A and B are shown apart, each in its own frame.
Chain A
Amino acid sequence: MLFFSYFKELVGKEVTVELKNDLAMRGILHSVDQYLNIKLENTRVVDQDKYPHMSSVRNCFIRGSVVRYVQLPPDGVDIDILHDATRREARGG
């Protein structure tokens, strides 16, 4: 539940999602769920020329199981709060 709660805090921020098939999409995080499925809005593919079929896609749903990385804005992370939450989760779980 920790990362689900963490991503909920990031809704509205711009993130870049890199998928296991090497496709990378930049967009505004619209929503996330317990499976860490991600919905992005205002999407742009990072390497547009390599993926011509994606040229008109602006909103998308990404299945959580295919995400490799979620790249965040450097100021999007409060490391201390994340540390505390992780310690609490480790103690409780």
Chain B
Amino acid sequence: MSWAGPEDIFLSTSLASYLDKKLLVLLRDGRKLLGILRSFDQFANAVLEGACERVIVGDLYCDIPLGLYVIRGENVVLIGELDLEREELPPHMIGVSASEIKRAQKAERDATDLKGSMRKRMEFLDLD
């Protein structure tokens, strides 16, 4: 195993190769942002131009336009380069309007809440 030489001080996983490319940014809260990277820094703070949020609920998706975004690096999970020769999404997925996706999100949230409340009601059984 070799130790750090003088040239390694400059070794860094730079986002420079991603500049001016359309990227997918995954955030810690589960959101998926798409946009063109215009700027970044050592904390992985990023500026995305023409950003949109891709909301996916089951087989439905919707791109909600956001404009120019500055993302604080601590929220970044992953920055992915989109391969233009491949489909961004599987073909079976259906694009819907913003209002429809919001309804689908609410339905999903309600189903999760219902599951949670039913589980809570069963807790007294102490099955585990």
Contact = CB atoms under 8 A, between A and B. Distances in A.
Which size bracket describes the interface of A in this complex?
A: 35 or more
Contacts of A58: 81, 83, 86
B79 A60 contact: yes
Contact of A62 (B78, B82, B88): B78
Nearest to A81: B1
B12 A33 contact: yes
Interface residues of B, number: 35
Contact of A61 (B3, B15, B54): B15
Given A32-B13, A66-B76, 15 more contacts: A5-B3, A21-B26, A23-B26, A31-B12, A52-B61, A53-B32, A53-B88, A53-B89, A56-B88, A57-B24, A59-B80, A61-B44, A62-B77, A66-B78, A82-B1
14 contacts: A4-B4, A5-B3, A23-B26, A33-B11, A52-B56, A52-B61, A52-B93, A53-B54, A56-B86, A58-B81, A59-B81, A61-B13, A61-B80, A63-B77
Interface of B: 1-4, 8, 11-13, 15, 18, 24, 26, 28, 30, 32, 44, 54, 56, 61, 73-74, 76-83, 86-90, 93
Interface of A: 1, 4-6, 8-9, 19-21, 23, 25, 30-34, 37-39, 43, 52-63, 65-66, 78, 81-82, 85
